[in-house]
C-alpha cells in the first residue's frame, strides 16, 4: 500500500478518490489544490505516489505536473488529463508514471497505482543506466585522448600507452580516469 498525496481543485472529487484509496488500504498523507500546492509540504509528507488531477482550467497545471515528476522523483499518476498527443508526450517524457485521460471507477485505481509504481521503477532504472553509460562514455573519451597524447609524445603504440596509464594509476593509487584527466588537462594547458 502507498502513502499518497492528492492534488485536485475539486474537493468533492478529491473526497471520493480519498475514500476509494483509503478503502484499498492506502494512506492519504495530504490533499492539496493546485492553488495551495506547496513543494515543501509535499516533501514533508514523504509520499510514495502523487495523484494529480489535470482537469483544472489553470494553464500551468501540466508544467506543475512535469515539475513534480522531474524534481520529486516519485511516480506521478495524472487523472483527467488532456487527450492531445503533444501533452501526453511531454508528460511521459517527464516521467509521469500513468496518464489517464478518461474518468475511472474507484475499483480501477489500485491496478493503476501498481502499474504506475512498476513503470516508474523501470523508468528510474533506465535513467540511471543512461547516466552510467554517459559517464562511462565520457571517461572512455578522456582515456582515449590521454592514450593519443602519450602515443604522440612518446612515439609508442596504443597498447603501450594504455599500459603506461595503468602503471601510473596503480603506482599512485588512483583510478585510470584520474591519471587520464591529468594528462589531458596538462596537454590542454600547453
Do 36 and 93 sit in the same domain of this protein?
A: yes
Do 50 and 97 sit in the same domain of this protein?
A: yes
What is the domain count for the chain? Answer: 2
Do 25 and 72 sit in the same domain of this protein?
A: yes
Is 119 within the bounds of a domain? no
pLDDT in 10s for each residue of the chain, 190 residues: 899 999 998 899 899 889 989 988 999 999 998 888 888 888 888 999 999 887 764 557 777 777 777 777 888 898 887 777 887 887 777 778 888 877 777 678 888 888 888 888 888 899 899 999 999 999 999 999 999 999 999 999 999 999 999 999 999 999 999 999 999 999 988 7
Last residue of a domain, one of 65, 85, 104: 104
Is 48 within the bounds of a domain? yes
Do 88 and 12 sit in the same domain of this protein?
A: yes
Is 115 within the bounds of a domain? no
Alpha carbons 50 and 97: distance in angstroms, whole number: 10
Do 86 and 159 sit in the same domain of this protein?
A: no
Alpha carbons 159 and 23: distance in angstroms, whole number: 66
Do 91 and 147 sit in the same domain of this protein?
A: no
Last residue of a domain, one of 87, 104, 121: 104
Is 124 within the bounds of a domain? no
Q: What is the CATH number of the domain that holds 182?
A: 1.10.10.10
Do 80 and 164 sit in the same domain of this protein?
A: no
Is 22 within the bounds of a domain? yes
Please report how many Cα atoms fall inside a 13 Å half-sphere around the Cα of residue 74, on the Cβ side.
24
Contacts of 30 (CB under 8 A, 6+ apart): 5, 6, 41, 42, 45, 47
Do 49 and 140 sit in the same domain of this protein?
A: no
Domain range for 65 is 3-104
Tell me what pLDDT residue 59 has.
55
Tell me what pLDDT residue 80 has.
80
Do 10 and 49 sit in the same domain of this protein?
A: yes
Do 74 and 159 sit in the same domain of this protein?
A: no
Tell me what pLDDT residue 58 has.
56
Tell me what pLDDT residue 98 has.
87
Sort 159 into a burial class: Cβ within 10 Å, 0-12 / 13-18 / 19+.
exposed
Tell me what pLDDT residue 56 has.
60
Grid cell, residue 186, equals 596538462
Has this prediction a pTM greater than 0.85? no
Last residue of a domain, one of 60, 84, 104: 104
Q: The dihedral of CA 149, 152, 156, 159: what is its sign?
A: positive
Nearest residue to 139 (alpha-carbon basis) of 100, 88, 178, 108: 178
Q: What is the CATH number of the domain that holds 13?
A: 3.40.50.2300
Tell me what pLDDT residue 180 has.
97
Do 83 and 8 sit in the same domain of this protein?
A: yes
Tell me what pLDDT residue 72 has.
79
Do 42 and 81 sit in the same domain of this protein?
A: yes
Alpha carbons 33 and 141: distance in angstroms, whole number: 48
Amino acid at each position: 500500500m502507498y502513502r499518497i498525496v492528492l492534488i485536485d481543485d475539486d474537493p468533492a472529487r478529491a473526497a471520493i478518490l480519498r475514500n476509494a484509496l483509503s478503502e484499498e488500504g492506502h494512506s492519504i498523507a495530504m490533499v492539496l489544490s493546485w492553488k495551495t500546492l506547496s513543494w515543501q509540504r509535499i516533501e514533508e509528507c514523504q509520499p510514495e505516489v502523487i495523484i494529480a488531477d489535470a482537469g483544472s482550467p489553470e494553464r500551468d497545471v501540466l508544467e506543475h505536473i512535469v515539475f513534480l515528476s522531474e524534481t520529486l522523483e516519485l511516480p506521478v499518476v495524472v487523472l483527467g488529463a488532456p487527450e492531445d498527443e503533444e501533452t501526453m508526450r511531454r508528460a511521459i517524457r517527464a516521467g509521469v508514471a500513468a496518464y489517464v485521460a478518461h474518468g475511472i471507477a474507484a475499483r480501477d485505481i489500485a491496478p493503476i497505482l501498481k502499474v504506475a509504481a512498476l513503470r516508474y521503477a523501470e523508468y528510474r532504472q533506465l535513467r540511471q543506466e543512461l547516466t552510467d553509460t554517459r559517464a562511462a562514455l565520457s571517461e572512455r573519451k578522456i582515456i582515449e585522448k590521454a592514450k593519443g597524447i602519450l602515443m604522440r609524445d612518446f612515439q609508442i603504440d596504443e597498447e603501450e600507452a594504455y599500459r603506461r596509464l595503468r602503471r601510473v594509476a596503480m603506482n599512485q593509487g588512483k583510478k585510470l580516469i584520474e591519471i587520464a584527466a591529468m594528462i589531458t588537462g596538462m596537454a590542454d594547458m600547453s
